[in-house]
Amino acid sequence: MAQPYRHPSSGTYYLRRKVPEALRAALGHEFKRSLKTRDAAEAKARFAAAWSQSEQAFALARAGLNGEMTLSQADIQQLAAQWFHGEVQRLDRTKDFAGMLAERESGVMDSGEEYVIYTSLGDADDVEEGDIAAWTADAARAALRAHNLPLPIKGSAPDLQMQAAFRDRLLALSDFARRRYEGNWLYKPDAPTPAPQAARETRSATAGGRAMKLLDLFDLYAKDKTLTDGDTRATRKTIADYRSIVRRFIELCGDLPVEKIDRGVILAYRTKLADTPAKGKGIRALNAAELVAKARDENLPRLGEATIRNRLRAVSAVLSFGVRQGLLHENPVIAGGVGRAAAKAATKKATRTRRVKDYTKEELAKIFTSPIYGADGWTPPRADFGRAWYWLPLLMYYTGARREELAQLRAADVGRSDGGIAYLNILARHDEDDGDRGVKTEGSRRFIPIHADLIRRGLEDYAASLPSTGPLFPMLKASPAGYYGANFGKRWAEYLRTVVGLTSSANPSHGFRHTFKTLCREVAIPEDVQDAITGHSSNGRVSRDYGRMPLETMARELSKFPVAPTVSGM
């Protein structure tokens, strides 16, 4: 029986499958895909889906050998557009514009300084057509591989169409790189907006005359979201959460063809959600219909308005995707006003029950004089996370950073600038290998100055005692979804409740982020400095997108931030 393959050096699991000899011209000798996890159990769970992708790729390759059209001209244009937009984003992120240009002239100036003048590939005189053809072929292969699609038969109509489409996009990309290289950051390329290959994938989803179901549409949505947002940890989590919601929708409302999901079905779905229990013994093992019955029979607490709103939003996102692709004439969640009504109800509830989201000074004193920070230290009864118990709460307090941003740090991420300022590196350098780490948004990539109290407590010495390429908190292990702070978060909440005896309304971890903002305002740290430290967006303020926030400025302002209470009262 086939099993995931574990790479001996990286520890990442893969699907590896030998390609039948007849299909190697289209797929190569081996079908290999990363399962994007180092966890054996998670790899087994993902292996089945990857195997299904390989089967689909083999089937399409066989169809191509038999002369069947597996890619329409519209599909090819969309593949080229998706590749182009992905490369534009990559170039803007890496700034490697010269890599997409041809050298027009080089030499040495009178000053002795060497210079190079670049031009785009389409304007270069000395670039061989064969070189452009090779670049085009590489781009097409990469795009096809991302979709588990085989190469068209050489010389066939799809093959020639693909060469022309990707050559056109390659030259457009080189022209874009030249403009960026020359400093034109306002230029926006004139290119078709990418969309998934709806025609091809819809044919596959409705093969044999079977009407498209919601899960079929969700699979198309998931592929599109991965292409648009990238195959990141956050994207995979969103897709997994939405898939679970879609499956619950089917359990409640039936496995309907998407065109049968109308305003009445959505209204009934909201009603059934309101009858679903939020918690109760044994509910995890029940399907949706059984949950509703159990809630009624045992009078269990029901889902809150915010949860109902969020589940409707997930279903709405999938249905809106179907509308954009021409598969549905309307999104009944929006058209029927159910989504808006659920959002209004959730807002009213939140207003009536608005809770304090940050810690009070008394609560902070209880936290930072609790057993973790006592002279004798503290040994957890279970879940030994090492020094993360001590450092993570302090880091969350002094930086306002998200728990996961800190939990995933490496020892080398604690550093000093050329000016001698101590900092934390939150994946700030785009040329770094993020690996299995990630940030919520691109704006979350940043350097954060380290408060003097953390230095006094020995954070730099602690980091220096660890292998520089290893994690800052070696005892934190990634959850199946890939998050290093998830298990700590659960135990931290338990520690506050059972050991510290805290009954705060603040979220155990995220409460520090709210607290940081509150304390910054108390000591008059400017809001743009606060946002630069916490990685918050500029909230539409265009001026914030110009220039950068110097580390020196952040460090100077952060010195005003109140020192955390200690056992000794310092």
Q: What CA–CA distance (Å, rounded) separates 273 from 304? A: 9
- What is the domain partition of the chain in residue ranges? 5-68, 73-194, 214-352, 361-558
Tell me the pLDDT tens digit for each residue of 310-322: 999 999 999 998 8
pLDDT of residue 382: 73
Q: What CA–CA distance (Å, rounded) separates 322 from 562? A: 51
pLDDT of residue 205: 41
Q: What is the dihedral of CA 324, 328, 329, 335, to 10 degrees?
A: -90
pLDDT of residue 278: 83
Q: pLDDT: is 568 or 42 the higher one?
A: 42
Instruction: Mention every residue, 6+ apart, whose C-beta is less than 8 A from residue 332.
Output: 261, 262, 263, 265, 266, 319, 338
User: 14 pairs with which residues across the strands?
Assistant: 5, 34
User: Residue 207: is its pLDDT beyond 70?
Assistant: no
Residue with the two structure tokens 């998200």 = 402
pLDDT of residue 44: 78
User: What is the three-class DSSP state of 14?
Assistant: strand
Rounded average pLDDT over 88-108: 82
Tell me the pLDDT tens digit for each residue of 366-416: 999 999 988 776 777 777 899 999 999 999 999 999 999 999 999 999 999
User: Residue 442: is its pLDDT beyond 90?
Assistant: no
- CATH of segment(s) 361-558: 1.10.443
Q: How far is CA 329 from CA 218, 236, 258, 320, 332, in A?
A: 17, 28, 11, 10, 9
Binned at pLDDT 50, 70 and 90, residue 137 comes out as: confident
User: 107 pairs with which residues across the strands?
Assistant: 115
pLDDT of residue 325: 79
Tell me the pLDDT tens digit for each residue of 471-503: 999 999 888 778 899 899 999 999 999 999 998
Average pLDDT of the chain, as a whole number: 82
User: 31 pairs with which residues across the strands?
Assistant: 17
Name which of 111-120, 320-329, 455-464 the model is least confident about: 111-120
**Position 488: which residue type?**
F
Binned at pLDDT 50, 70 and 90, residue 10 comes out as: confident
Name which of 29-38, 56-65, 445-454 the model is least confident about: 56-65
pLDDT of residue 522: 94
H or E segment to which residue 57 belongs: helix 40-65
Tell me what percent of the residues of the chain surpass a pLDDT of 90.
29
The two structure tokens encoding residue 409: 């740090």
User: Residue 432: is its pLDDT beyond 60?
Assistant: no
User: What is the three-class DSSP state of 36?
Assistant: coil
pLDDT of residue 110: 67
User: Residue 199: is its pLDDT beyond 50?
Assistant: no
Angle among Cα 498, 502, 506 to the nearest 5 degrees reads 125
Q: How many CA atoms lie within 13 A of 369 on its CB side?
A: 13
